[in-house]
Structure 1
Amino acid sequence: MSTRRGVAGRSAAAAGERVLTAVVPVWLDRADHEAAHRGCHASALLWNRCVAWLREEWRAGRRPGREDVRRFVTALPAAERPVHAHTAQAVAYDLWDAVETARARRAGGATGVRLPWREKAYRPLVFTRNFGWRTGPAGGLSLSLGRGRRRITVPLPVFTDREGVVVDPGRWGEITLCWDGDARMWALHVSYRSSVGTAPDSPAGRGEERVVTVAVDEGVINPLTLVHRAPDGVHEVTVINGRSGRSIKRGRNKAVGRLSSMMSRCRNGSRRHRRLAAAKRKTRSRAKARLRDFNHQVTAKAAEVVRAAHDRHQGAAPDGVTVVVRVVVGDVRGIEQRTARRRRVHRSTRQQLSQWDRGTHEHQLAYKTGLEVEHISEAYTSQSCPRCGRRRKVRGRWYACGECGLRLHRDAVGGVNILTLADNDGTLVPVGPSLAVRVTYLRAQPGWGPLQRALHSRHQRARGRAGAGRRGSP
């Protein structure tokens, strides 16, 4: 999220609102399509010019700031920035956001982080409210490319919020016109205000507070495992299954690999080569849309668990006590890096790690709950028994302790130990014989398991043999 949108997001949060984004596909005629492509190329050239100027300033020993970058862009002649003035400012602000993000990562101890340096050939167009975009009297949406240039006109987007209510243009903010290279289509990313319940974090200036910690163990098979201590002292564990996401990725990888193999036997530019390239783009586009929905389903269920934990503790708290929530995630950042060089795991596992959506899940969970995600080292959390502290290697999905007899799901063991680390300042302290765990399994997306499908087909065959016909047939 850029600085200009971040300020709006903070003011909306202060008013009990959130800033969300809706993605609406649009169709452009040939003239608008070409104008939008020229604008995206011009926006990329502005980015490249700003990066070159900023690095030249650094080499000269000067320390320009955010507004200095904006003034440099706006001072360019109109012929050298053939986009709307606010679109050019958005380029400057996004560049400075990238600089601040890189500096924050360096300050946090991340290695190999570089300040913006790579040149771009294409960049989305940003249109601000009342200046970059306006609604027409006939119900259309006009996107301005600058004074003296032809506007891009599209039908007014119609979409609903999470409560199923149509979002009026009066609630819209910035609009971004993006090109999807895989789907070969344009889409409008419309930001809007929405009243969405969030779990409160630590507020200032209130009375007595009670902090509830929600620990999150991330994984490839089960994306998120959330653990918190219920008011009755039982460890509530929620395991969100992610096998449907793995299935989507595996199907995409196999299809793309097969198409790439077929393309390698074709002459570049031939009709068959072009058709196979189009098929590969279509495969990636479909998988990306399905994974986007899957990730939102995962994080939406996780956000519901966080809010439910807050509501349960708030209902059990005495009068005058405010319950605040803290989200702590086991730190696995960077685990996917340099695996090919180290040869620590099999190549199929390396592929799964490189395609892991861990960062997306953390970002969306923080956004949907309104809480800051903290990281804590999760070393040996899946190998240590949360009851007696004995450490052993685990094979399979279940942890069985030979010392105290505890048998528990492997991800639940990791989540309980992460919760213990968060509550004891990074020290792994066994809970003891009083450990009580209640595990709940959730599917990220509604669907049937293999056993359910088998039983359903058997039931349908039995109905057919009995002459009852299939479901829905007369």
Structure 2
Amino acid sequence: MTAEAYEVQSRVLTAVVPVWLNRADHVRAHAACHASAMLWNRTVAWVRGEWRAGRSPGREDIRRYVTSLPAEARPVHAHTAQAVAYDLADAIALARANKAQGMAAVKFPWREKRYRRLVFTTGFGWKITSRGRLALSLGRGRERVVLPVPELTNRNGVLVTPDRWGEIKLCWDGAARGWSLRIAHRVPDDRLSDASGHEGAEAAGIRAVTVAVDEGIVNPMTLAIRAPDGAYEVAVINGRAARAVKQRRNKGAARLQSKLSRCQSGSRRFRKLSEARKKLTARTGRRLRDFNHQVTAKANRFIREQVEAHEQAVPTGARVVVRLVVGDVRGVERNTEKKRRTSRSTRQQLSQWERGTQERLLAYKTGLAIRHISEAYSSQTCPYCLTRRKVRGRSYACVNKTCASVLNRDAVGGVNIHTLAVNDGTYVPVPPETVIRVKYLRAQPGWSADQRERHGFHQRARHRAGAGRSREARSSAQNRATRADLPVGVCVAVVPRSGGAMGHEGGAATPQGAGRAVARTAEGHM
């Protein structure tokens, strides 16, 4: 592939690389971050002064003001100073767009900063030295920050050379007490074709595939898509690991805060406890960041697998475009303390829900624009007969005796959101012969409660047999800890409570007579 073709068929991603700075570079970088923040504050004050005078400075007007300041007022690289101006212009444009959409409590930039990341542009702010080191310039007449060149690989494990790098940001994490580089780089374009502008284009050789996403706290994402054979493919991604991480953080933070409240500010014990709280916050942030990437990576893989199946099923020369629709729960996590509509624990879970982060990551990995649709009653409505009932727990059993469907609650929500998306927001019953295949995925590799119990039983048996108190690592007992009654690859069916005849063939449950079932694979237990 030529360089010109690569530039056209590529997309820009950002890699986060932790780095270590020696004492001298650390001090210089800190001073530059403070100077960048002071420049931001001065520019914000100038813009607000222009507004009060009845003028509306544009993007280039802000840039010219920053570059016109004396050198002692902007002790950073010239391109770093320009990045401050452009970031402020982008923040103002975003606030205006949000106001135009009717968002309440939108504020233009006003808060004073004490610290701000450093931005280095390609060829000017950073470069690779003759000795193969990465040099970050802090401006003319100042020492550079010199680092080893980090190795970046794309999702396929292919090395991304520095000639494909773009803008680099040097950031400081106050909780983790460490530096990191945000490196923008170009990779081959693997974005899925978005359905924007292709509505109603089936006759033109384009097949539009709708992917519905039902978001939740227990299961962060449930994806539903219509397969080429007419059945529904549903993937339920389990998120209980994140709840455990957040619960541990909340309890640890509460315990440390209780001790801090009894300490004198600035004392030695106060500093130690504050450091422990920062470490807890940083550790939890790393685990949650990994969890969000795991969730969206599995969702992205599921979407691409289903899109590939459609591409193989369409006639030669036809295109497949994708529409990503998410149930609209925006705002449910806001003002939970003021509304008090739920219990205290539920309000805490809602306020700590990372729904927005997961949406952005999924859009980032798939390259699709997210569309929101009302999901009212989607988890209470039977997709086959449209009977509504409130449910508790993770299973949905239809109260209509002629239907008697037994489905996963999140799968019901995903299928109904898909129905709403393809029928202009109207509930339409799914045909009785439609099969709903459900696959359970665990966001992060781990053991179920049954696996932990079996492993503990094995360790106690070893101890009684005279093996001493030495314990085997859990990684040495993966085969032993799997469920004996549920081998990998075997499918089981959820039996409806009302009983009745059922057709079960090829790992899928087909609704027959008085009962319906959903196939459940063992992949989610791996």
Q: Within 2, Cα distance between the matches of 1:47 and 1:187?
A: 21
Contact 1:198 1:307 in 2 (8 A): no
Instruction: Evaluate the alpha carbon distance shift between residue 242 and residue 196 of structure 1 in structure 2; reply closer, same or farther with a 3 A threshold.
Output: farther
Pairwise CA distance, 1:15: 2.5
Residue identity in the other structure for 1:281: K
1:223 is aligned to: 220
- Report the 3-state secondary structure (helix = DSSP H, G, I; strand = E; otherwise coil) of the residue aligned with 1:222: coil
Contact 1:297 1:444 in 2 (8 A): yes
Q: Within 1, Cα distance between the matches of 2:27 and 2:370?
A: 42
Q: Within 2, Cα distance between the matches of 1:57 and 1:424?
A: 50
Instruction: Evaluate the alpha carbon distance shift between residue 251 and residue 427 of structure 1 in structure 2; reply closer, same or farther with a 3 A threshold.
Output: same
Contact 2:389 2:399 in 1 (8 A): no
Q: Within 2, Cα distance between the matches of 1:339 and 1:354?
A: 7
Counterpart pick for 2:140 among 147, 155, 177: 147
Pairwise CA distance, 1:30: 2.2
Counterpart pick for 2:275 among 256, 275, 278: 278
Pairwise CA distance, 1:433: 2.3
2:182 is aligned to: 189
1:420 is aligned to: 419
Counterpart pick for 1:117 among 110, 129, 132: 110
Pairwise CA distance, 1:60: 2.9
Q: Within 2, Cα distance between the matches of 1:233 and 1:326?
A: 17
2:510 is aligned to: none
Pairwise CA distance, 1:460: 4.4
Aligned alpha-carbon RMSD (Å): 2.2
Show CA shifts across 1:326-345 (max 9, x none).
10001111111122111111
Please give the residue correspondences for 1:233-382 in structure 2 after superposition, counting only pairs within 5 Å.
Answer: 233-382=230-379
Q: Which has the higher contact order (CA 8 A, sep 6+)?
A: 1
Show CA shifts across 1:351-394 (max 9, x none).
11111111111101001001101111111111222111122222
1:8 is aligned to: none
What is the TM-score normalised by the length of structure 2? 0.84
- Report the 3-state secondary structure (helix = DSSP H, G, I; strand = E; otherwise coil) of the residue aligned with 2:257: helix
Is 2:37 the counterpart of 1:44? yes
- Report the 3-state secondary structure (helix = DSSP H, G, I; strand = E; otherwise coil) of the residue aligned with 2:159: coil
Show CA shifts across 1:385-418 (max 9, x none).
2111122222222221111212211111111111
Counterpart pick for 1:19 among 6, 9, 12: 12
Q: Within 2, Cα distance between the matches of 1:66 and 1:426?
A: 40
Instruction: Evaluate the alpha carbon distance shift between residue 150 and residue 12 of structure 1 in structure 2; reply closer, same or farther with a 3 A threshold.
Output: farther
Instruction: Evaluate the alpha carbon distance shift between residue 21 and residue 12 of structure 1 in structure 2; reply closer, same or farther with a 3 A threshold.
Output: farther
Instruction: Evaluate the alpha carbon distance shift between residue 12 and residue 259 of structure 1 in structure 2; reply closer, same or farther with a 3 A threshold.
Output: farther
Pairwise CA distance, 1:107: 2.8
Q: Within 2, Cα distance between the matches of 1:393 and 1:257?
A: 34
Show CA shifts across 1:290-336 (max 9, x none).
11111111111111111112111111111221110110001111111
1:433 is aligned to: 432
Q: Within 2, Cα distance between the matches of 1:426 and 1:153?
A: 56
Q: Within 2, Cα distance between the matches of 1:325 and 1:250?
A: 37
The share of aligned pairs that are identical, in percent, is 62
Instruction: Evaluate the alpha carbon distance shift between residue 231 and residue 13 of structure 1 in structure 2; reply closer, same or farther with a 3 A threshold.
Output: farther
- Report the 3-state secondary structure (helix = DSSP H, G, I; strand = E; otherwise coil) of the residue aligned with 2:181: strand
Residue identity in the other structure for 2:158: V
My pick for the range that moved more, 131-140 or 297-306, is 131-140
Q: Within 2, Cα distance between the matches of 1:460 and 1:13?
A: 56
2:77 is aligned to: 84
Q: Within 2, Cα distance between the matches of 1:345 and 1:460?
A: 42
Q: Within 2, Cα distance between the matches of 1:391 and 1:160?
A: 49
Pairwise CA distance, 1:69: 1.6
What is the TM-score normalised by the length of structure 1? 0.92
Pairwise CA distance, 1:272: 0.9
Pairwise CA distance, 1:96: 1.8
Contact 2:294 2:444 in 1 (8 A): yes
Please give the residue correspondences for 1:384-403 in structure 2 after superposition, counting only pairs within 5 Å.
Answer: 384-403=381-400
1:55 is aligned to: 48
1:72 is aligned to: 65
Q: Within 2, Cα distance between the matches of 1:356 and 1:290?
A: 15
Q: Within 2, Cα distance between the matches of 1:323 and 1:208?
A: 9
Residue identity in the other structure for 2:329: V
Pairwise CA distance, 1:52: 1.9
| Structure label with greater radius of gyration | 2
My pick for the range that moved more, 381-390 or 253-262, is 381-390
Q: Within 2, Cα distance between the matches of 1:55 and 1:425?
A: 44
Q: Within 2, Cα distance between the matches of 1:101 and 1:239?
A: 34
Poorly superposed stretches of 4+, deviation over 4 Å: 11-14, 203-207, 460-473
Tell me the matched-pair count.
Answer: 463
Show CA shifts across 1:183-226 (max 9, x none).
11111111212226332213779952110000001111111110
Counterpart pick for 1:137 among 120, 130, 134: 130
Pairwise CA distance, 1:459: 3.4
Residue identity in the other structure for 2:420: L
Pairwise CA distance, 1:426: 1.4
- Report the 3-state secondary structure (helix = DSSP H, G, I; strand = E; otherwise coil) of the residue aligned with 1:33: helix
Q: Where does the alignment leave 5 or more consecutive residues of structure 1 unmatched?
A: 1-10
Q: Within 2, Cα distance between the matches of 1:340 and 1:131?
A: 49
